[in-house]
Structures are given as structure tokens and as C-alpha cells.
């Protein structure tokens, strides 16, 4: 059976347009196009580019991985002011902000724990990419999406600021060094 490629691609384009339109209608019926607060990962709105609002919630306890593929429980991150930056190497805004995170880690790393969570599987290429941008802080991986799902992340970069008790006190998208420093001083120190 021969498939008409034009018909196939046209049908896919129409389907994609309908999905985006349906998401926009759903958001407008809810009266908001802002981030959506969720009570469980299954409540996350399917609209494109939406991260769940998690400020005020407890940082979730799930397992992520080290570069070697070993299990790393997120509970081991809590206890000191913490910044968790969700990133991956092909994300353009992530590329732009990694040097700012490296600079702020050099400045505040003795007071604040910095962790990069790569949403791609553990790989030396990802590790090298971040190190080439100056990153010297911990890099962990969420290849199964456990943490990403638990905090409702649909796009990157996304950064969570977490106090020493494990409460998420702020969340943001792309940051400059100046914005990052202001948030560290205002939310964590």
C-alpha cells in the first residue's frame, strides 16, 4: 500500500493545529493562560509551554540518576538552601544561562547548593557540554522524568529555589547572572 506523503504530512499538520487550538480554548475556559497549579502530575495541563506553579510546595522526593546511572534520591539534596536548574544541551536558553549559573556557584557555592538536572539520559557529552560552559556544580539526570513530572515541568530551562526545609520558595525560567544573584539574596540568604 502506497501512502501519499503530501496527504500524510497535511493530515499531521492539521492534527497538530487542532491540538494547539484545543489547548488554547481549554486555557481560556479556565480563565487563565498563566502557569497551572497542580495537585498531582496527572493534573498537568497538556498545553504547550506550560510549567506547573509549584512555589510554596515541598520539593518532591523521587529518584534521579548520576552520570554513572546510579540512583540518587532527591531527599539527599535538601538541608541547605538549594537551586535546582532543569536544563539540557540542545535548549538554546539553557545554553545562554549556564555561564550565569557557573558564576553564581563560584560566588555563593559555599552558602547555596547548586544542582543541574539534565532531562536527557546520563551522557558524557551532556556533562562535557556543561563543563565547557564553566559549570562545576553537581549534575544529575532525570531520564525517566520522575522529578520533571513531579514538579510539572513542560519546558526548560526552569529553576527552582528551595529553602533548607525543602520548600520551593521561587521558580523561574531563563535567568541572567544579575537576576540569579538577586533571587539568591532575596529568597535563600
Chain segment 83-118, per-residue pLDDT in tens:
999 999 999 999 999 999 999 999 999 999 999 999
Residue 74: inside a domain: yes
Residue 25: inside a domain: no
- Grid coordinates representing 153 are 515541568
Backbone angles phi, psi at 172, to 5 degrees: -145, 170
Residue 38: inside a domain: no
Contacts with 37 (C-beta within 8 Å, 6 or more apart), sequence order = 52, 53, 54
Residue 5: inside a domain: no
Residue 63: inside a domain: yes
Residue with cell 547548593: 113
Residue with cell 529553602: 163
Q: State yes or no: pLDDT of 44 exceeds 80.
A: no
How many domains does the structure of the chain reveal?
1
Residue 98: inside a domain: yes
CATH number assigned to the domain comprising residue 176: 3.40.30.10
Domain span at 127: 51-188
Grade residue 81 by pLDDT with cuts at 50, 70 and 90.
very high
Contacts with 104 (C-beta within 8 Å, 6 or more apart), sequence order = 114, 177, 180, 181, 184
Q: What is the mean pLDDT of residues 140-159?
A: 95
Residue 89: inside a domain: yes
| CA dist list (Å): 177 to 28, 101, 106, 138 | 34, 7, 12, 18
Q: Which residue has the higher pLDDT, 182 or 44?
A: 182
Chain segment 3-18, per-residue pLDDT in tens:
455 444 444 444 444 4
Residue 99: inside a domain: yes
Contacts with 111 (C-beta within 8 Å, 6 or more apart), sequence order = 81, 188, 189
Amino acid at each position: 500500500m502506497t501512502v501519499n506523503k503530501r496527504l500524510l504530512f497535511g493530515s499531521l499538520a492539521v492534527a497538530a493545529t487542532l491540538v494547539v487550538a484545543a489547548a488554547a480554548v481549554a486555557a481560556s475556559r479556565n480563565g487563565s493562560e498563566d502557569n497551572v497549579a497542580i495537585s498531582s502530575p496527572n493534573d498537568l495541563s497538556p498545553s504547550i509551554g506550560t510549567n506547573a506553579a509549584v512555589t510554596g510546595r515541598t520539593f518532591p522526593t523521587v529518584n534521579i540518576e548520576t552520570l554513572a546511572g546510579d540512583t540518587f534520591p532527591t531527599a539527599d539534596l535538601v538541608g541547605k538552601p538549594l537551586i535546582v536548574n532543569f536544563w539540557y544541551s540542545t535548549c538554546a536558553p539553557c545554553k545562554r544561562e549556564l555561564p550565569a549559573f557557573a558564576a553564581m556557584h563560584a560566588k555563593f557555592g559555599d552558602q547555596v547548593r547548586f544542582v543541574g538536572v539534565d532531562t536527557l539520559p546520563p551522557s558524557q557529552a551532556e556533562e562535557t557540554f556543561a563543563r565547557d560552559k564553566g559549570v562545576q556544580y553537581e549534575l544529575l539526570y532525570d531520564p525517566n522524568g520522575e522529578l520533571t513530572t513531579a514538579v510539572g515541568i513542560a519546558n526548560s530551562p526552569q529553576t527552582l529555589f528551595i529553602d533548607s526545609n525543602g520548600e520551593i520558595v521561587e521558580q523561574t525560567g531563563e535567568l541572567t547572572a544579575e537576576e540569579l544573584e538577586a533571587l539568591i539574596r532575596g529568597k535563600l540568604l
